[in-house]
């Protein structure tokens, strides 16, 4: 095994931290703010903070209004989750959500208003108008702006952008006590020790050929947690957003569910409205039903897309309500006030992830998780629209509280000296005679996941996918050094976990649909948990 030496200029420059937060979206920033009251915090971000999924969240954040009731929000969430939500986690979400939003407003977040009060909209599967938004369709951007402003005002919080977390570290007693970190600019690698670690790395949409997620959503956190021995849960439940822009050579830009909430109509390529044939709520049906309906229409009409039609709505209203969507589509020569928008489902959100309790604690002591990387139980088999940003706020705060309490119980820190002396090196790479085209593998992986582990699945396809993914995993061992290569390795791992869980759930439920088992069968209410310590995740634990 050959190890290349780090360049002389690569000096250990990472500050000593009591707490390590990996990721800088809504969940990570809220966790860092909370942890700053208990000690020094270091936030690590691969690339830059502006690349994360949180800023792309358009529709809004769900929170009970004065005319609403948290019990109704809870019931809607449970209903959308097809009975697989953990009720305790959902209760935490809806009870603590309003206070977290008010806290965010106190930090400068500006949500849209209607007269003297806030404007509340409705999205699919919600029984009340409870979606708060900012800038019409730029809610995530505004929430991150406010959280960044608050976090940057706190001297206890330090940042390092362009630092990719390779793996988690554990001490001799199995407790997570830091991470192995790659400096993307120099290629230098070093250990960063901490008393507790919070994972907030987001989702894994890039494992699919079509996704609304940004390029950074490669499943790093789930893969790292799994390799560290953490239980991952509900990986089969991948939510496909029904409406992403479909145009050749253009980004798969999300078209918010709020467009259907405001009266948008889905039409097939013949111009026929079709959703009433699939569900009584038509365009406002749960996302999994809408996505499969669109898929069925595409297959029936031999088309690559359907249309989202808002041309019957007032043009001025459209431009004011959806300014980002309007401007983006216009950039690609689609005037949504005059033309129907070509759309296709795309991978959007991972309901599964690293299992956590209601305070973000994983099954590995010292490791906490919040946001899309975690499986807190609030989403069940299908996420209710606009609950994700709220989840990030609520469970980011809770993970911070739990991590701080854990550090107190752990006693005085013993990491400081070790962190200062940690050697800087390069990642080792095995010398192999076979050549592997990483970009070709990445594209093949994404096509494989889309075709065989996508919106509609079956046993034969899943078994074939698992066999191929296992071959890729074996070939990748010991040869990944760059951020790009390490991301691909993580994508393959996450893809295998999704496919394995999907194979084990031999029935359909929520976002998971098996064409060979289309009905919900007995045992539907179990959670499939996978662990590297359990026969390399080849059985339910």
Enzyme catalytic residues:
287
- CA–CA separation, 523 and 541 (whole Å): 15
- CA–CA separation, 205 and 184 (whole Å): 22
Q: Residues 153-174, buried b or exposed e (16+ Cβ, 10 A)? A: eeebbbbebebbbbbbbbeeee
* CA neighbor of 10 nearest in space, from 314, 349, 423, 405: 423
* CA neighbor of 351 nearest in space, from 370, 322, 373: 373
* CA neighbor of 234 nearest in space, from 513, 452, 527: 527
Strand positions, DSSP E, 246-305: 265-267
Strand positions, DSSP E, 92-222: 113-114, 117-118, 120-121, 131-132, 157-160, 163-170, 176-183, 189-193, 196-199
199: left (phi over 0), alpha (psi -120 to 50) or beta: beta
Q: What is the DSSP letter of 14?
A: P
Q: What tokens appear for 11 in the block?
A: 């000096």
Cβ atoms within 10 Å of 215's Cβ, excluding its own = 12
* CA neighbor of 373 nearest in space, from 229, 501, 494, 244: 494
């Amino acid at each position: 095994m050959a190890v290349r030496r780090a360049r002389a200029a690569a000096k250990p420059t990472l500050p000593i931290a009591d707490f390590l937060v990996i990721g800088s979206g809504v969940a990570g920033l809220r966790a860092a703010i909370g942890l700053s009251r208990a000690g020094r915090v270091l936030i690590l971000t691969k690339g830059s903070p502006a690349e994360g999924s949180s800023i792309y969240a358009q529709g809004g954040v769900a929170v009970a209004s004065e005319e609403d009731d948290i019990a109704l929000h809870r019931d809607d969430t449970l209903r959308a989750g097809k009975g697989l939500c953990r009720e305790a986690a959902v209760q935490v979400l809806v009870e603590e959500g309003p206070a977290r939003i008010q806290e965010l407003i106190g930090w400068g977040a500006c949500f849209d208003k209607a007269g003297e009060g806030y404007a509340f909209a409705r999205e699919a599967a919600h029984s009340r108008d409870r979606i708060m938004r900012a800038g019409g369709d730029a809610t995530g951007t505004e929430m991150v702006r406010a959280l960044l402003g608050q976090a940057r005002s706190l001297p206890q919080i330090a940042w390092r952008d362009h630092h990719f977390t390779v793996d988690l570290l554990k001490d001799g007693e199995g407790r997570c006590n830091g991470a192995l970190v790659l400096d993307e600019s120099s290629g230098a690698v070093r250990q960063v020790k901490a008393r507790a670690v919070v994972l907030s790395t987001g989702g894994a949409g890039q494992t699919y050929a079509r996704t609304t997620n940004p390029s950074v959503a490669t499943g790093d956190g789930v893969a790292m947690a799994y390799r560290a021995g953490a239980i991952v849960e509900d990986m089969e439940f991948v939510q496909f957003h029904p409406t992403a822009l479909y145009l050749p050579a253009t980004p798969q830009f999300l078209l918010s569910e709020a467009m259907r909430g405001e009266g948008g109509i889905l039409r097939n390529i013949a111009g026929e409205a079709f959703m009433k044939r699939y569900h009584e709520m038509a365009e406002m049906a749960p996302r999994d039903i809408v996505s499969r309906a669109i898929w069925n229409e595409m297959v029936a009409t031999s088309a690559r897309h359907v249309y989202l039609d808002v041309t019957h709505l007032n043009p001025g209203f459209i431009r004011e309500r959806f300014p980002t969507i309007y401007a983006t589509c216009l950039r690609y020569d689609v005037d949504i006030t005059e033309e129907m928008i070509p759309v296709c489902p795309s991978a959007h959100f991972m309901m599964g992830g690293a299992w956590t309790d209601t305070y973000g604690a994983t099954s590995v002591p010292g490791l906490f998780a919040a946001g899309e990387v975690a499986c807190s139980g609030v989403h069940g088999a299908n996420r209710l629209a606009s609950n994700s940003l709220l989840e990030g706020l609520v469970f980011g705060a809770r993970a911070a509280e739990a991590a701080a309490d854990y550090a107190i119980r752990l006693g005085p820190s013993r990491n400081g000296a070790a962190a200062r002396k940690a050697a800087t090196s390069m990642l080792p790479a095995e010398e192999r005679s076979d050549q592997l085209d990483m970009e070709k593998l990445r594209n093949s992986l994404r096509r494989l996941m889309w075709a065989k582990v996508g919106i509609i699945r079956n046993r034969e396809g899943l078994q074939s996918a698992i066999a191929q993914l296992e071959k890729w995993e074996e070939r990748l061992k010991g040869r990944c050094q760059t951020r790009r290569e390490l991301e691909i390795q993580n994508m393959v791992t996450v893809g295998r976990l999704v496919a394995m869980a999907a194979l084990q759930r031999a029935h359909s439920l929520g976002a998971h649909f098996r064409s060979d088992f289309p009905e919900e069968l007995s045992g539907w209410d179990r959670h499939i948990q996978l662990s590297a310590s359990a026969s390399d995740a080849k059985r339910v634990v």
